[in-house]
Amino acid sequence: MPRIARASIDQVQAAADMVEIVGQYTELRKAGANYSGRCPFHEERTPSFSVNPTEKLYYCFGCGAGGNLFGFVQEKESLDFAGAVEYLADRYGIALEYEETSARGDAERRRKERLRSLLEQATAYYERVLVDAKTAAPAREYLAARGLGEEVCRQFRLGYSLPGWDKLRDAARGHKFTDQDLLDAGLVVPGKQGRPYDRFRGRIMFPLADDRGRTLGFGARTMGDEKPKYLNSPETPLYHKSEAVFGLHAAKAAAAREDRVYVVEGYTDVLALVQAGVHNAVASMGTALTEQQLKRLARVTRNLYLCFDADAAGIGAMSRALTLGRKMGLSLHVVRVPDGLDPADYVLSGAGGDGFRALADDAQTLLQFHVRLALAAHDLDKPDGRARAFAQLRGVLSEAATPIERDEELRHIADRLQLSAESVRYLLAGSERSVEGGEAAAEGRREPPQGGGRAAAIGGVHELEVRFLASCLAQPAKGRAVLAGIDEGFFATRETRDALGSVKERLALDGPGKTVSAAEDAGVTAESGEVLAEIVVRAGREHFTANVVDELFLRLQEAQVGRLIARLKLTVQNDATGRQSKELASLQAAGRRLRDAIRAVPVDEEPHEGQGTN
């Protein structure tokens, strides 16, 4: 990969609006020097997520997620560092410069750029054909008959491929693209006499785009009886079927805002829903959702509502997707559309977007879905059918996230079998152990990811060090004076040791609007970046006075002395020289002096904790 020039990275950092970027995923409100909102990395009701707009850093006090602008984009868009810089450059109209690198990486990058440009031109070409061409009239009529207006078709850039053998090929070659380009982009098929021909002929074209809306490939549908009904792009350097999710680009903002996404089967289902005002809808490519597709969706929201056909294939595929999603910690629901309608027909039949949302509110949870599936799979009138149903239900009930959910299902099962809830409970005894296991696993999933967990494990000292560094930033004059006398060795954890340099650097710059180049911070690891973000965000969030700086400094020294005492105590008995016991005594005396000093720090009028501005 070619390296992006440092000047370009700085340019992107300067141009990007952190609040706007984060605002795509969660609603932010101004809170003192920071902005705050509900964390886009974990589920919560009250906001514990803060953004520092000038430094372009974020930190969550709930789950410990934190970092800089580029780190945020990397996380949410699942990109590497260079990808995140490119994403932002694209968004803010900055032309990146690359450092000289390997010829091969360069060639590959240029190759992909060329394919992208070809696919963009092909998309525009198919679009024009659908709107203008006489031969596309049946396609226009087909879409109109399905109740899809021009506006929504334009929004998703629908197109039409003419029935000829080399219509697109001719058009592309007119734009100086070669047959090899066309082959690599999956737009033509190699012909027998070495003359490639158009892959897509006489079909409605649905562009399959990446998260940024750039076409990677196409799904193409016939209007008649030709086989196959759907024809997709082959695997190319840009298009990978297992990752494709139709409409995700358009659905992203609404899905993040409503914190849920509807996954439907057909492209036209997405269009019909969007037209009805349900913007957070995407289509899977077939019913079998892959792990990669679930990962793409999970970056936007963890609440997935599946609306698939209730035929055998649909149920099987949905069941697999539900199990896979559950392993990934996603919350999955099954939306049942009545009368065997697909979502498009349902909203167009008069139910509209509100009707669809009402259905979704009645969606079954994973557990409900599986319980009903198990009950439907066996002949409950026969004793052995019941026995088999119970055997299956035992496993199914271990999926319950909470005892309440389990109890509700027990009652449902009792109803269906016309038994008392108590007898069902008795018959299902033996599921209890696995149920507890299920709860523990569910509990484990809900634990905050690394950041918070790690900080908690290190304990109070880490928190103390972070708050101390934050207080130094908040009180620059005092902070500079105090930090001048200490070095990395003063801190107990590697992350705060790493962060010390960045804090000193920020203090050295001084003045309002101070910013540290992102490239300067580029050397910090993900962990220390998280801690640095926490420090900066805390500095703007808590009310730190000069006295607080003093107190935190003293408390840290006390903690350090405490660590030294603990270490000495381990070896002091084996020390015959008596030197260690003398040292121990003097450390203990120092500890006492520090505690006295802490008590002597004047108490400020205002409390210095709990002053968070959110």
**Which residues of this chain interact with Zn ion, rule CB under 5 A?**
39, 41-42, 60, 62-63, 65
Pairing of strands 49-52, 34-37: antiparallel
- Closer of 155 and 613 to Zn ion (Cβ): 613
Q: Which residue stretches of 156-222 are H helix?
A: 167-174, 179-184
**In the complex, what is the shortest distance from the CB of residue 65 to Zn ion, in angstroms, rounded to a whole number?**
5
- Closer of 94 and 531 to Zn ion (Cβ): 531
**In the complex, what is the shortest distance from the CB of residue 37 to Zn ion, in angstroms, rounded to a whole number?**
10
Supply φ then ψ for residue 260, to 5 degrees. -160, 155
- Closer of 8 and 52 to Zn ion (Cβ): 52
**In the complex, what is the shortest distance from the CB of residue 25 to Zn ion, in angstroms, rounded to a whole number?**
11
**In the complex, what is the shortest distance from the CB of residue 291 to Zn ion, in angstroms, rounded to a whole number?**
23
CA–CA gap between residue 135 and residue 37 (Å, rounded)? 52
**In the complex, what is the shortest distance from the CB of residue 41 to Zn ion, in angstroms, rounded to a whole number?**
4
- Closer of 41 and 369 to Zn ion (Cβ): 41
Burial group, residue 601, by CB count within 10 angstroms (0-12, 13-18, 19+): middle
What residues contact 14, with CB distance under 8 A and at least 6 apart? Answer: 515
Amino acid at 13: Q
Please give the distance of CA 118 from its chain centroid, rounded to a whole number: 30
- Closer of 453 and 602 to Zn ion (Cβ): 453
Per-residue burial over 536-553, b if 16 or more Cβ lie within 10 Å, else e, is bbbbbbbbbbbbbbbbbb
What are 451's two structure tokens? Answer: 């950041």
- Closer of 60 and 306 to Zn ion (Cβ): 60
What residues contact 501, with CB distance under 8 A and at least 6 apart? Answer: 488
DSSP letter string, 405-452: HHHHHHHHHHHHHT--HHHHHHHTTTSHHHHHHHHHHHHHHHSPPHHH
- Closer of 41 and 142 to Zn ion (Cβ): 41
- Closer of 265 and 534 to Zn ion (Cβ): 534
- Closer of 58 and 160 to Zn ion (Cβ): 58
**In the complex, what is the shortest distance from the CB of residue 452 to Zn ion, in angstroms, rounded to a whole number?**
8
**In the complex, what is the shortest distance from the CB of residue 60 to Zn ion, in angstroms, rounded to a whole number?**
3
Among residues 417, 376, 413, 379, which one has the least CA distance to residue 394? 413
**In the complex, what is the shortest distance from the CB of residue 207 to Zn ion, in angstroms, rounded to a whole number?**
34
**In the complex, what is the shortest distance from the CB of residue 49 to Zn ion, in angstroms, rounded to a whole number?**
6
430 to 390, 395, 441: CA distances (angstroms): 11, 10, 18
What residues contact 261, with CB distance under 8 A and at least 6 apart? Answer: 251, 255, 280, 281, 282, 297, 300, 301, 303, 304, 305
Is 84 within 8 Å of 91 (Cβ atoms)?
no
